[in-house]
Amino acid sequence: MKIKTFAILMLTVGTLCVSCKSDKKQQANNDPLGSKYLRPAGVNYSHDDSVAISSLVSQFMKSFEAKDYLAASRMLYTFKRHDEAPVALTEQQQQDFNKAFSSRNIYAIKSHGFILRDELNNEVSYLLQIVKNGNIDKQQGTTTFSLNPIRYKGQWYLTLLTPYAKGVNLNPYEKDR
């Protein structure tokens, strides 16, 4: 009886092993690149997209560098849902933005990075030197300020990059939210 039970058990285990291997082979044949491990291709950006993003960021930074934070804030939007258009900051949000930056000394500004990931998750970052005797080139006495240009129905908008913004995933290797 023990030998018969052992033989049935071994036959079942062997069948399961062969079945698992054939599933893997079938998956490999259907998906030779193993695309489940590859991130999907991002959005293709045209020259017009690059020009639009560059123009928006340049206008924003021109106002920001001139310490006209209110004018800069008027270019910012919030984005909460894929099925709703971005909304300009409210007057109160603009005043808060103006107050936050007007109350700080910014001694130097330097472009720090430009990453385009997809329509909702991009990053244009700047270093802000906030300590008088800091060194922006060595990133001493600095903080980072980041914008998130988003595209909604073919139009580009500037939003602030925060981990809470719709569509943003600051770590591209984490599962999309």
Q: Which is it for strands 76-78 and 155-160: parallel, antiparallel or unpaired?
A: parallel
Q: What pLDDT, on a 0 to 100 scale, did the predictor assign at position 84?
A: 81
DSSP-derived 3-state class of residue 14: helix
Each residue's pLDDT tens digit, 109-127:
999 988 888 888 889 999 9
Each residue's pLDDT tens digit, 62-85:
999 999 999 999 999 988 777 788
In words, the CATH class of domain 47-160 is alpha beta
Q: How confident is the model at residue 47 (pLDDT cuts 50, 70, 90)?
A: confident
Q: What pLDDT, on a 0 to 100 scale, did the predictor assign at position 139?
A: 94
**Domain parsing of the chain, residue ranges:** 2-37, 47-160
DSSP-derived 3-state class of residue 165: coil
Rounded Cα–Cα distance for residues 140 and 137 (Å): 8
Q: Which sign does the torsion angle of CA 118, 146, 60, 109 carry?
A: negative
78 burial level (CB within 10 Å; 0-12, 13-18, 19+): middle
Q: What pLDDT, on a 0 to 100 scale, did the predictor assign at position 157?
A: 95
